Amino acid sequence: MIKPHGSDTLDSRFVADDTRRAALLKEAGGLPALTVCSAAAANAVMLGSGYFNPLTGYMNLAEALAVAEGMRMPSGLFWPVPILNVVRPEQITEEIRAAKRIALRDPNVEGNPILAVMDVAAIEVMSDAQMTTLVEQIFRTQDREHPGVAAFTSVGNTVLSGSIQVLNLSYFANDFPETFRTAGQIRDEIARLGWQKVVAFQTRNPMHRAHEELCKMAKEAVAADGVLIHMLLGKLKKGDIPADVRDASIRKMVELYFPPNTVMITGYGFDMLYAGPREAALHAVFRQNCGCTHLIVGRDHAGVGKYYGPFDAQAIFDDIPAGSQEIEIFRADHTAYSKKLNKVVMMRDHPDHQPADYVFLSGTKVREMLTAGEALPEEFARPEVAAILAAHYQREAAAG
């Protein structure tokens, strides 16, 4: 199986031993406590799940700037996005400032339970210029209308760095018991299935016919044994489909339209960054940690609005030095149903086609049709999938 990123074995920061975890929870009850932001909590979950191997905790300011400017840690490790715990200055009490260890509390679970214990290596304040550098390099824009920029710039300017021991995986395991899996669990399942080549498909949306066929095309093109459909289960921007609805629709599609035992449906606990190229590179890192040999990177991967070119997320892999990653990228074009050929195709493969030869529906049109109870064209969406999405939009409409 493909090695994890940057190491021979996978290191999860989750404390799996029950006795040790109970002792740490008891210790944490007496430590200064800090309720972190949602992004920092998601970073802890990803560290605890092994997805951010070989990192052991949150980056300091120098590491974050090195990653932002050159996609490398000072150690030389390739890493595309800073992994930070950023808070507001007023959250740093004298007790926290004097502490060597603190308890991190979860903002996303009622009662703010303890999420992790952190060894505090440094507490640093970002200058405005440093914040600007991070935002510009990660997101390629300073526009506060960009949801990733808005989230990143709203949580404060004080960086806490240091290693962590993760004591629970937030709400993900409880809310999505059939779907949420750690990187180690996915590697174990790949080994159990005997798969050697695995192609990963990243999604924060439901999957329509074009996505379904893209997975099948990629599997065939790289001669993969199976497909990992890996959905984001964390925070999204307003208007995106909730994770439980996506989960149900994807499971129905796989059940009815994929050969048995060729797809693994899983999810991971992370908040969407909408960082386009940089997020695509991060997706590759943690899919390698899952044991995947290939990642599908398609049109406008991890993008939002008009902030990135349609294939910028593929182009970034041309700038990554050889040897930085072992995972390979399957570069996909826009896929759509061809009326001429009566099947879903990659548009780059058919230069003879005109726009009118394809079945296209905008996201707005899809939402309008589903809310009104109108059937989507079967060339665009499987009817069983469309029914699940229609029920969601109609509930939303009824709720006002």
Query: Phi, psi (5° rounding) for residue 11?
Result: -110, 110
Question: Is 103:32 a contact under the CB 8 Å cutoff?
Answer: yes
Name 331's bridge partners: 297
Q: What share of the chain is helix, strand, coil (3-state, %, to 5)?
A: 40, 20, 45
Name the nearest CA neighbour of 232 among 278, 191, 189, 287.
287
Question: Is 92:84 a contact under the CB 8 Å cutoff?
Answer: no
Question: Is 221:232 a contact under the CB 8 Å cutoff?
Answer: no
Round to whole Å and give the CA distance between 168 and 171: 9
Q: Quote the DSSP letter at residue 71.
A: S
By annotation, the residues acting in catalysis are 204-205
Round to whole Å and give the CA distance between 254 and 251: 5
Round to whole Å and give the CA distance between 235 and 108: 10
Q: Quote the DSSP letter at residue 325.
A: -
* Token digits of residue 223: 């001669």
Round to whole Å and give the CA distance between 285 and 320: 12
- Reduce the secondary structure of 343-389 to three states and give it as a string: EEEEHHHCCCCCHHHEECCCHHHHHHHHHCCCCCCCCCCCHHHHHHH
End-to-end CA distance of the chain: 49
Round to whole Å and give the CA distance between 267 and 201: 11
CA 78, 83, 89, 95 torsion-angle sign? negative
